[in-house]
A and B are shown apart, each in its own frame.
Chain A
Amino acid sequence: AQSVSQHNHHVILSEAASLELGCNYSYGGTVNLFWYVQYPGQHLQLLLKYFSGDPLVKGIKGFEAEFIKSKFSFNLRKPSVQWSDTAEYFCAVNAMNRDDKIIFGKGTRLHILP
């Protein structure tokens, strides 16, 4: 069965610091990959997604992620974080041609210090 691992459970950064959140998945076939964000008190919303093509994908609010197939990784990055980026971030994977289940990682809680 497919699974998703997020390496960091809680990250604390100062404003303007660079961010990288790790995500690895465990399915050997073709996948769709996602990062979702949940701001305090809100529901999840899509940050960015990878289906095919350029492995470097750009999302909203200056976030980007790089798909490295050989490493089964899809790490999220942002060069300079802001206080408003404080949220919980979830990596998710959909194993294509298998079923339509989308499996989430356990999440990384990001806290930005002003």
Chain B
Amino acid sequence: DAGITQSPRHKVTETGTPVTLRCHQTENHRYMYWYRQDPGHGLRLIHYSYGVKDTDKGEVSDGYSVSRSKTEDFLLTLESATSSQTSVYFCAISEATSYTGELFFGEGSRLTVL
């Protein structure tokens, strides 16, 4: 399995509090992604990164920000969590050389916003 670690794996928080999820990789892959998975919606792309300090928005970026100061770490921040952000969050990485596009996923972080 690809070396991807997500933390925390489970978190319960209250509406209005900030939350940061961390994705750490040991593969030195250039591309990193944050998806959320919700029943009936499949996986939806939140943000992605194509290099250190290079990020872009996905399909559902409102309410989320990201940062990538090192190749190995990609942080997802909810500045003020809302109940609609209760979800399972998956980090994924890809070499994306020659547009191979194959993703390797982390184990997921289950976030509950009360």
A interface residue numbers (CB < 8 A to B): 6, 9, 32, 34, 36, 43-46, 49, 51, 90, 92, 94, 96-97, 99-107
Contact = CB atoms under 8 A, between A and B. Distances in A.
Given A43-B106, A43-B107, A32 B100 contact: yes
A103 B50 CA distance: 16
B102 A34 contact: yes
A94 B101 contact: yes
Contacts of A45: 105
Given A94-B101, A104-B45, 18 more contacts: A6-B42, A32-B99, A36-B103, A43-B106, A44-B90, A45-B105, A46-B103, A49-B101, A49-B102, A100-B31, A100-B94, A100-B96, A100-B99, A101-B56, A102-B33, A102-B94, A103-B59, A104-B43
B99 A96 contact: yes
A94 B94 CA distance: 12
A100 B101 contact: yes
B58 interface: yes
Contact of B43 (A9, A90, A97, A100): A90
Interface residues of B, number: 27
Contact of A44 (B43, B44, B99, B100): B43
25 contacts: A9-B40, A32-B101, A43-B90, A44-B103, A46-B102, A46-B103, A51-B100, A90-B42, A90-B43, A92-B103, A96-B99, A99-B56, A100-B50, A101-B56, A101-B58, A102-B33, A102-B45, A102-B94, A103-B45, A104-B35, A104-B42, A104-B45, A105-B42, A106-B41, A107-B43
Contacts of B101: 32, 34, 49, 94, 100, 102
